[in-house]
Amino acid sequence: MAKKSYTLIVVPDHESPVKRYRVQKSLFLQVGGGLLLLAGLALGATLHYFQVARDAAENRILREENLTLRGQLKSVRERIEHIGSTLDRVERFDQKLRAITLLSDPQRNLAMGPVEQEPGVGSPAAETQFTELASMESPKALSGKLDRLSAEATRQEQSLHELQAYFQDQKSLLASTPSLWPTRGWVTSDFGSRLDPYTADRVMHAGMDIAAPHGKDVFAPSDGTVVFAGLEGGYGNVIVIDHGYGIKTRYGHLAKILVKAGDRVKRGGLIAAVGNTGRSTGPHLHYEVRVNGIPQNPRKFILEE
């Protein structure tokens, strides 16, 4: 069977002869298939280019969103760290407030201070927890830590509500608690056992010695009534204030006494001046707090830093 073919006639201009070309049908099919293949490849390449361009645009958007999220995450971590340190301060203040209320020791008429935990007992310090939280990168981990932070804030809120209710019922007790420094200076001898500066024997020091310039003001740390003002042996000039609830404070070695027995004093009221009277090695204030006649560490009552 003869192969089918096509005749291609080319008619030139003017008087040139007509040219005839015979082309086999199979060649037409091959050329057409090749053109279709090239068109398909061109179309595929075009679609691939647009896909790559779209992916590149999406990747750029994702990078920008990622940078934004990183910035937001850093901001969240900083805020969490700030909240954590704030809660830590609230916790310490809460403990100190409870140290001067019945809430910290229901078996006594007045608590002497916060109960210290045994080593290794209790939860980690809030600062450690929140430092760990601030270093976490995983959003899931951050979410879990935030839940615990929220629970801690709720617990602190409940605790402070308890304290608020208690203080509303115990205003007179709070006003009578010696929570201020009686004078400002340097604590040269704390409460507890010490070597006597005169005999070098180890004896119990029933208060604290606060070194200060001669004549520096001495203030009442809380409301009360002066029950003694005068000379008392080795303590020199002495003032004793009864604050009620079995609490009394004593101020020794005074240069000047500005109150007398029977006077009512208010928290922060001026009562005396620092001196060097009695058995003293230099100008200082000897300050005692006694509850039902028993000496207590004055630091347990002082709320000021």
In tens, the pLDDT along 101-121 reads 655 554 444 443 333 444 443
> In this predicted structure, what is the pLDDT of residue 291?
93
Query: Which residue in this structure is represented by tokens 């927890």?
Result: 129
Q: Is the pLDDT of residue 39 over 50?
A: yes
Do residues 90 and 126 lie in contact, with contact meaning Cβ atoms separated by under 8 Å? no
> In this predicted structure, what is the pLDDT of residue 212?
96
Fold of 186-300: Glucose Permease (Domain IIA) (2.70.70)
Q: How confident is the model at residue 287 (pLDDT cuts 50, 70, 90)?
A: very high
For the chain, the maximum distance between any two Cα atoms, rounded to a whole number of angstroms, is 150
Q: What is the dihedral of CA 114, 120, 126, 128, to 10 degrees?
A: 150
Length of the chain: 305
Q: In percent, how much of the chain has pLDDT > 90? A: 31
Angle between the N-to-C axes of helices 139-169 and 25-99, in degrees from 0 to 180, rounded to the nearest 10 = 20
Do residues 28 and 8 lie in contact, with contact meaning Cβ atoms separated by under 8 Å? no
**Closest-CA residue to 240 (of 252, 255, 227):** 227
Rounded mean pLDDT of 194-207?
74
Do residues 257 and 229 lie in contact, with contact meaning Cβ atoms separated by under 8 Å? yes
Rounded mean pLDDT of 208-224?
95
Q: How far apart are CA 115 and CA 20, in angstroms?
A: 115
Residues 6+ apart with CB under 8 A from 17: none
Q: Is the pLDDT of residue 225 over 60?
A: yes
Q: Which residue would you say has higher pLDDT here, 200 or 183?
A: 183
> In this predicted structure, what is the pLDDT of residue 217?
97
Q: Is the pLDDT of residue 164 over 50?
A: yes
> In this predicted structure, what is the pLDDT of residue 259?
97
* CB-neighbour burial class of residue 280 (10 A; exposed 0-12, middle 13-18, buried 19+): middle
- CATH 2.70.70.10 residue spans of the chain: 186-300
Structure tokens at 204: 């119990």
Report pLDDT digits (tens) over 61-90: 888 888 888 877 787 777 777 777 777 878
Q: How confident is the model at residue 276 (pLDDT cuts 50, 70, 90)?
A: very high
The whole-chain average pLDDT of the chain stands at 80
Most confident of 56-65, 105-114, 191-200: 56-65
Query: Which residue in this structure is represented by tokens 């006003």?
Result: 175
Q: How confident is the model at residue 187 (pLDDT cuts 50, 70, 90)?
A: very high
For residue 280, how far is the Cα from the chain centroid?
A: 43
DSSP string, the chain: -PPPEEEEEE--STTPPPEEEEEEHHHHHHHHHHHHHHHHHHHHHHHHHHHHHHHHHHHHHHHHHHHHHHHHHHHHHHHHHHHHHHHHHHHHHHHHHHHTSGGG-TTSSS--SPPPPPTT-SPPPHHHHHHHHHT---HHHHHHHHHHHHHHHHHHHHHHHHHHHHHHH-HHHHHHS--S-SS-SEEEE-SEEEE-TTT--EEEE-SEEEE--TT-EEE-SS-EEEEEEEE-GGG-EEEEEEEETTEEEEEEEEEEE---TT-EE-TT-EEEEEB--SS-SSSEEEEEEEETTEEE-GGGT----
Q: How confident is the model at residue 265 (pLDDT cuts 50, 70, 90)?
A: very high
> In this predicted structure, what is the pLDDT of residue 107?
45
Q: Is the pLDDT of residue 136 over 60?
A: no
> In this predicted structure, what is the pLDDT of residue 134?
47
Structure tokens at 66: 């990622």
- Residue 298 phi/psi, 5° resolution? -60, -30
> In this predicted structure, what is the pLDDT of residue 125?
46
Q: Which residue would you say has higher pLDDT here, 145 or 121?
A: 145
